[in-house]
Amino acid sequence: MASEGGRRADALEEHGCNYFGKTVIRSAPFAFYYHSDIVHLAVDLGVHIPEIYGEVEISESKNDLGDYEYTTTGEQRTGCSMCGFGIQMEKRPHRFDRLYERNPKEWDFWMNRCCTDENGNKYGWGRVLDYVGIEWRNPAHWWMEPNQIKGQMTLFDYV
């Protein structure tokens, strides 16, 4: 959405929501809406909002445009469940912690077993997160001090 800023906003301003170039044809009819607008539209049309987004909340006061803000209590954006893009900007519980809460088996696969190195050892996103310094272990206990956690998992538990 254009509300995300950057190149998307610039492209929308330059080309509008439909772009017909020499080699690229792109249509993004919802691009100029804000997240609040999309949630508001879903509510007005009675569209089912998937559980992952949580409940809809409507602000008690109006914004600068005279509209109420519509938000969701769960995820604000979704995509590939294992995508780590921008994870360094999140505080715990981050998206991988919430994935653990929703689906521990999927979390285990992506964090520990989705790749195999040249020696046949399994690894996953956990190795990447360790490298960049993002905490990810024991997502069910992310709020506890490390010395409170018994049997803390390590990267090598799945080798």
pLDDT, one tens digit per residue, over 10-28 is 777 777 777 778 887 877 7
Asked if 36 contacts 71 with a C-beta cutoff of 8 angstroms, the reply is: yes
Per-residue pLDDT tens over the stretch 27-52: 777 777 788 888 898 899 998 888 88
- In this prediction, residue 150 carries a pLDDT of 41
For the entire predicted model, the pTM comes to 0.56
155 band by pLDDT with thresholds 50, 70 and 90: very low
pLDDT at 142: 56
Compute CA distances 29 → 3, 21, 38, whole Å: 14, 17, 12
